[in-house]
Amino acid sequence: MTPAAVAVLAGAQTLLPATTQAKTAASGFGRDEKKFVPVMITPFDSNSAIDYDRLSRLIDFYLKAGAKGFFANCLSSEMYFLTDQERIGLTRHVVKRVNGKVPVVSTGSFGDTLNAKADFARKIHDTGVDGVILISSHFADKEESDAVLMENFEKFLSQTGTMKVGTYECPNPYKRLLSPGVFKSLVANKRMIYHKDTSEDLKNIETKLEIAKGSQLEFYNAHTATAVASLQKGARGMSPISGNFYPEIHSWLCRNANDPSKKADLDWIQAEITRTEPIISKFYPLSSKYFLKKRGVPLELVCRAKAQTIPAEQMKILDDTYTTFLGWCERLGIKG
């Protein structure tokens, strides 16, 4: 067992000697603002090939809606249904289209071995992303301990130079939440700049936020129901699937979460998006493509993952949710 793995078990705060290289101001990391970062969906054409023209238009839509970053090649992107070449091509296109306006991160921990993961991560890094995201469950099997997880993280990091990295508690292949000991060790490494949290538990979120306080790591919450609370307690931003339906709402939350004068509206919209989350989650990500198409984003209703069609009764529910969304915008003063 390596020293870093032993350190996790002992509750130590170091993983590897941290690089001292700072991210440039242009990257967007480290700026003191709350950010909505969409977990991007992938537009496909009628033949299920990536539609790069529609992807460009989707990126422009996100930016207009207030996105302050992009998470490309994630679960919402149907990354497990893409080839390595498609994952790289998708990421490269996002970086090129964004053109430095906001930071871009992308999953880079694909591969059957740690060497293969490191090799793929380098390819993702070479697209120009600001951070390479590591899926926590890619680094240890479900039955393996945190010590094994940390040992594998350490080996991976030792092979990947000084590239900036982040973590994502992706539900697939299984959801591996980072324990406080693991999280503390990772945050201690200055290369670790990003975390997407899927714990859906405010106490867990509070613990991680306390660990990350004052560090270089930016914490993004995937859980809509704890959006306002997490932002008020120090999360850098939001990155939920509902951002692929009404990104303007999450941009508004990020701008106004700490404004006492907005408390009534914050409490109200938090209850509203919590109520609608189970509705929009059905048949996702196809449901988001249907919703965005209603909003004028020219997407084909084509997915490689999960549901291929949406029943008529669910379409009606999504139609009603769209009408509800328009009411939200009217109350909050959000212009289309």
Q: Per residue in 59-82, pLDDT tens?
A: 999 999 999 999 999 999 999 999
Q: What is the pLDDT of residues 180-196, one digit of tens each?
A: 999 999 999 999 999 99
Residue 298 lies inside a defined structural domain of this protein = no
- Helix H or strand E segment including 196: strand 192-197
Residue 47 lies inside a defined structural domain of this protein = yes
Residue 184 lies inside a defined structural domain of this protein = yes
Residue 14 lies inside a defined structural domain of this protein = no
Weakly modelled stretches of the chain, pLDDT under 70 = 1-32, 336
* The one catalytic residue among 34, 196, 208, 262: 196
* The one catalytic residue among 34, 117, 168, 220: 168
The Cα–Cα gap between 269 and 277 comes to: 12
Q: What is the reported pLDDT for 31?
A: 54
Q: What is the reported pLDDT for 120?
A: 98
Q: What is the reported pLDDT for 51?
A: 98
Q: What is the reported pLDDT for 308?
A: 84
Closest residue by Cα to residue 70 from 47, 44, 48, 41: 41
Residue 60 lies inside a defined structural domain of this protein = yes
The Cα–Cα gap between 56 and 60 comes to: 6
Cα pseudo-dihedral 41, 43, 46, 48, rounded to 10: -60
Q: What is the reported pLDDT for 24?
A: 36
Q: What is the CATH number of the domain that holds 182?
A: 3.20.20.70
In 10-25, which positions are buried (b, 16+ CB within 10 angstroms) versus exposed (e)? eeeeebbeeeeeebee
Specify whether the CB–CB gap between 55 and 95 falls below 8 A: no
Q: Which residue has the tokens 């130079």?
A: 161
The structure tokens listed for 183 are 């999280």
Residue 30 lies inside a defined structural domain of this protein = no
pTM reported for the whole predicted model: 0.90
Domain range for 42: 35-263
How many structural domains compose the chain?
A: 1
Residue 304 lies inside a defined structural domain of this protein = no
Residue 285 lies inside a defined structural domain of this protein = no
Q: Which residue has the tokens 């084909």?
A: 300
The structure tokens listed for 81 are 């249904």
Q: What is the reported pLDDT for 3?
A: 44
Q: What is the reported pLDDT for 197?
A: 98
| Cβ count near 1 (within 10 Å) | 12
String of DSSP letters for 60-121: HHHHHTT---EEESSGGGTGGGS-HHHHHHHHHHHHHHHTTSS-EEEE---SSSHHHHHHHH
State yes or no: is 196 an active-site residue: yes
